[in-house]
Amino acid sequence: MKLYIVGAGPGDPELLTVKGLKLLQEADAIFYTDSLVNEALLHYAKPEADVFHTAGMYLEQIVHLMVERVKSGQKVVRLHTGDPSIYGATLEQIALLKKEQIDVEIVPGVSSVFAAAAAAEVELTVPDLTQTVILTRAEGRTPVPEKEKLEELAKHDCTLALFLSATLTKKVTKALIEAGWSEDTPVVVVYKATWPDQKVVRSTVRTLNEDMRANGIRKHALILAGRALDPAIAERSYRSKLYDKTFTHGYRQGEK
């Protein structure tokens, strides 16, 4: 007995993986978070498949229904937004499924962090500038561990990708400034990355809250922050060693 947890990607139905598409087409029952996952993905489902909208359901309800379907011999797909491994609430579902002796196979999806970077046309890691990306969120109703407070993580001065933080921009600005960031540090907000109404807002640490309010963005947004997001970065001399003609590696002898 097995249940499939499939990453639906950030929104664009064409960003579903080939494996995810195949499972969706074969599924007898599909459980999806209708508040986040693009309904257009259901067009791939076979007509007789049962579809469960889970946005208004609580954990035990969802798992109970999934268990019933799996145990009745059906192929069941749990469709999650983005990639299931990041803020996907999958661990708690898997724990309950394991108690019912149901195996789980996870199919990764395109995370909104990478969709946002693509929409903004940025590289999150830039040679000689930053080689690290931290995926996190600002502290809201759900606390974060003390060592993972945003002001502590920001001290690394690398690229930050903030999930679930669109309503906490004042806290974000305060934390970044407390960490020593310049108020002029670039910030890019991507609202509903890859959806038809996608919006890219270029901002700074200082103007983040004001720009978010001016654009009416209070949910479904990914916030990227750091020096790698500077729109003028491509004009500067940050270059990788990989394509440097003087750099030798296993596939090429560098010029002297």
- Each domain of the chain, given as residue ranges in start order, spans 2-107, 112-232
Residue 235: its pLDDT value, please?
A: 67
- b/e sequence 53-87, b meaning 16+ C-beta within 10 Å: ebeeeeeeebbebbbebbeeebbbbbbbbbbbebb
Fold of domain 2-107: Cobalt-precorrin-4 Transmethylase; domain 1 (3.40.1010)
Q: For the residues 135-141, what does the mean pLDDT come to?
A: 94
Q: What is the pTM of this model?
A: 0.90
Residue 197: its pLDDT value, please?
A: 96
Percent of the chain past pLDDT 90, that is, above it, reads 84
User: Do the first three CATH levels of 2-107 and 112-232 match, i.e. the same topology?
Assistant: no
Contacts of 202 (CB under 8 A, 6+ apart): 120, 186, 187, 188, 231
pLDDT tens digits, 94-113: 999 999 999 999 999 999 99
Q: How far apart are CA 126 and CA 98, in angstroms?
A: 42
Q: For the residues 10-19, what does the mean pLDDT come to?
A: 97
Q: For the residues 33-38, what does the mean pLDDT come to?
A: 90
pLDDT tens digits, 141-184: 888 999 999 999 999 999 999 999 999 999 999 999 999 999 99
Q: In this model, does residue 10 exceed pLDDT 70?
A: yes
Mean pLDDT, rounded, of the chain:
93
Output the six-digit token pair for 57.
């359901």
Fold of domain 112-232: 3.30.950
Q: In this model, does residue 220 exceed pLDDT 90?
A: yes
